[in-house]
Amino acid sequence: MIRNALISLILFSLAGAAQADAKARLEAFVDSTKGLKANFTQTVIDRAGRKTQEASGNLYFSRPGKFRWIYQKPYAQVIVGDGKKLWIHDEDLDQVSVRKLDQALGDSPAALLAGDNNIEKLFALKDGGIKDGIEWLEATPKSKEGSFEKVRMGFKGDDLQVMELKDNFGQTTLLRFSNLQRNPPMGANLFRFTPPKGADIIGDR
């Protein structure tokens, strides 16, 4: 949001420039990153500031609409977007959930990474300042029907280092990325999913 202050046209110009810089940072990342491979850690903090969950794993994506998130700790779960459908496999429960990808992705934070280039159609972008060498961008979903209130993306240069997701229930999810590789070779099978034999399947196959 650009602050409309009558005190000075200079303040208006600076706010506009900051927004343009933040938008340019994300656009540079999207334009130069058609695919990505990285490790991640995930921490969930509740409204009272208590840490309620920690997880880690690997992620891969190939834009638009193809991704694979592999949770290794503390539980085994695989989330696959194959371009048409979203598959979620809970190994401990031997259960698979499946939905149409466009309905599942929508204006979720995943759309910022694996969606198409039309980010501003779904999100309002705003410069979030610089802290500890990380340049922050805030993305607010334009739709009020989603489960997320705001997403902050932290960049170091043109590399995405961290994402901070605030949901409508007061929870904050912090995703930190490491060993990030842009546009690595990835086989098509990485973004395909076949339900294990005997698994309980929920949703529209």
Please, are residues 32 and 157 in contact by the beta-carbon 8 Å criterion?
no
Among 41-50, 110-119, 177-186, the range scoring the smallest mean pLDDT is: 110-119
Q: Is the pLDDT of residue 16 over 70?
A: no
Q: Which residue has the higher pLDDT, 192 or 125?
A: 192
- β-pair partners for 131: 134
What are the tens digits of pLDDT across the range 178-189? 999 989 999 989
Please, are residues 40 and 59 in contact by the beta-carbon 8 Å criterion?
yes
Q: State how far the Cα of 167 lies from the Cα of 1, in Å rounded to an integer.
A: 20
Tell me what pLDDT residue 4 has: 33
Average confidence (pLDDT) over 47-51: 93
What are the tens digits of pLDDT across the range 136-179? 988 888 877 767 788 888 888 778 899 898 988 899 999 999 99
Q: What's the pTM? A: 0.77
Among 2.50.20.10, 1.10.10.10, 3.40.640.10, 3.90.930.60, what is the CATH number of 19-186? 2.50.20.10
- Burial category of 1 from C-beta neighbours within 10 Å (exposed 0-12, middle 13-18, buried 19 and up): exposed
